[in-house]
Structure 1
Amino acid sequence: MLPEFNDLAGLRRLLSDLPDPDQSAIDGAAERNAQLTKPPGALGRLEDLASWYAGWRGDPRPRIEAPQVIVFAGNHGVAARGVSAFPPAVTAQMVANFRAGGAAINQLAELAGARMDVHALDLDRPTEDFTKGPAMSDADCAAALKAGWDAVDPKADLLVVGEMGIGNTTPAAALSLALFGGAAEDWTGRGTGIDDAALVAKAQVVSNGVKRHFGGDGLELLSRLGGREIAAMAGAIAAARMLRIPVILDGFICCAAAACLQSVNPRLLDHAVAGHQSAEGGHPALLERLGKQPLLTLGLRLGEGSGAALAIQVLKGAIACHSGMATFAEAGVSAG
Structure 2
Amino acid sequence: MIRFVDRAAFAAALAELPAPDAGAAAAAAERQRVLTKPAGSLGRLEEIALFMAGWQRRERPRAERIRAAIFAGNHGVAARGVSAFPAGVTAQMVANFRHGGAAINALAQACGAELAVVALDLERPTGDICAEAAMSEADCLSAINAGAAAAEEGLDLLLPGEMGIANSTPAAALCAQAFGGAAAHWVGRGTGVDGEGLARKADAVSLALALHGAHCADAFETLRRLGGREIAALAGAVLAARMLRVPVMLDGFIGCAAVAPLAKDNPAIVDHCMAAHMSAEAGHERLLAALALEPLLRLDMRLGEGSGAAVAAQIVRSALAAHGGMASFAEAAVAGAL
TM-score tier, shorter chain, comes to over 0.9
For residues 243 and 204 of structure 1, the distance between their equivalents in structure 2, rounded to whole angstroms, comes to: 39
8 Å CA contact retained: 1:219, 1:264: no
Within-5 A mapping of 1:109-128: 109-128=108-127
1:323 aligns with 2:319: no
8 Å CA contact retained: 1:233, 1:257: yes
Letter in 2 for 1:236: A
1:32 aligns with 2:31: yes
Residue matched to 1:15:
14
Q: For residues 125-174 of structure 1, what are the alpha-carbon distances to aligned partners after superposition, in whole Å with 9 as ceiling and x for unaligned?
A: 10000111111111111110011011223221100000000000000000
3-state DSSP of counterpart to 1:118: strand
8 Å CA contact retained: 1:68, 1:153: no
Within-5 A mapping of 1:186-201: 186-201=185-200
Letter in 2 for 1:185: A
Shift of 1:245: 0.6
Residue matched to 1:217:
218
For residues 90 and 38 of structure 1, the distance between their equivalents in structure 2, rounded to whole angstroms, comes to: 50
% identity of equivalent residues: 58
Within-5 A mapping of 1:239-250: 239-250=240-251
Residue matched to 2:66:
67
Unaligned runs of 5+ in 1: none
Shift of 1:198: 1.1
For residues 81 and 230 of structure 2, the distance between their equivalents in structure 1, rounded to whole angstroms, comes to: 20
The Cα RMSD (Å) is: 0.9
For residues 131 and 266 of structure 1, the distance between their equivalents in structure 2, rounded to whole angstroms, comes to: 28
For residues 43 and 211 of structure 1, the distance between their equivalents in structure 2, rounded to whole angstroms, comes to: 48
Residue matched to 1:227:
228
- Structure 1 stretches of 4+ moved >4 Å: none
Residue matched to 1:170:
169
1:160 aligns with 2:168: no
- What TM-score do the two structures reach when normalised by structure 2? 0.97
8 Å CA contact retained: 2:20, 2:54: yes
For residues 139 and 333 of structure 1, the distance between their equivalents in structure 2, rounded to whole angstroms, comes to: 62
For residues 248 and 142 of structure 1, the distance between their equivalents in structure 2, rounded to whole angstroms, comes to: 23
For residues 154 and 24 of structure 1, the distance between their equivalents in structure 2, rounded to whole angstroms, comes to: 20
For residues 186 and 13 of structure 1, the distance between their equivalents in structure 2, rounded to whole angstroms, comes to: 32
Q: For residues 11-31 of structure 1, what are the alpha-carbon distances to aligned partners after superposition, in whole Å with 9 as ceiling and x for unaligned?
A: 111222221111110110010
Q: For residues 261-299 of structure 1, what are the alpha-carbon distances to aligned partners after superposition, in whole Å with 9 as ceiling and x for unaligned?
A: 212322111100100000000000000000000000000
8 Å CA contact retained: 1:72, 1:232: yes
Shift of 1:7: 1.8
Aligned length in residues = 335
Letter in 2 for 1:73: A
Letter in 2 for 1:146: N
The farther-off stretch of 207-216 and 49-58 is 207-216
Residue matched to 1:298:
299
3-state DSSP of counterpart to 1:314: helix
8 Å CA contact retained: 2:21, 2:54: yes
For residues 197 and 124 of structure 1, the distance between their equivalents in structure 2, rounded to whole angstroms, comes to: 28
Letter in 2 for 1:264: D
Shift of 1:260: 1.8
The farther-off stretch of 113-122 and 259-268 is 259-268
The farther-off stretch of 50-59 and 265-274 is 265-274
Residue matched to 2:45:
46
1:309 aligns with 2:310: yes
- What TM-score do the two structures reach when normalised by structure 1? 0.98
For residues 335 and 40 of structure 1, the distance between their equivalents in structure 2, rounded to whole angstroms, comes to: 12
Residue matched to 2:97:
98
For residues 171 and 87 of structure 1, the distance between their equivalents in structure 2, rounded to whole angstroms, comes to: 16
For residues 151 and 137 of structure 1, the distance between their equivalents in structure 2, rounded to whole angstroms, comes to: 22
For residues 193 and 132 of structure 1, the distance between their equivalents in structure 2, rounded to whole angstroms, comes to: 25
8 Å CA contact retained: 2:10, 2:220: no
8 Å CA contact retained: 2:190, 2:302: yes
For residues 108 and 148 of structure 1, the distance between their equivalents in structure 2, rounded to whole angstroms, comes to: 21
Letter in 2 for 1:303: G
Shift of 1:5: 2.0
For residues 99 and 185 of structure 2, the distance between their equivalents in structure 1, rounded to whole angstroms, comes to: 37
Shift of 1:74: 0.2
Letter in 1 for 2:120: L
Shift of 1:218: 2.1
Residue matched to 1:238:
239
Letter in 1 for 2:93: M
Unaligned runs of 5+ in 2: none
For residues 332 and 224 of structure 2, the distance between their equivalents in structure 1, rounded to whole angstroms, comes to: 57
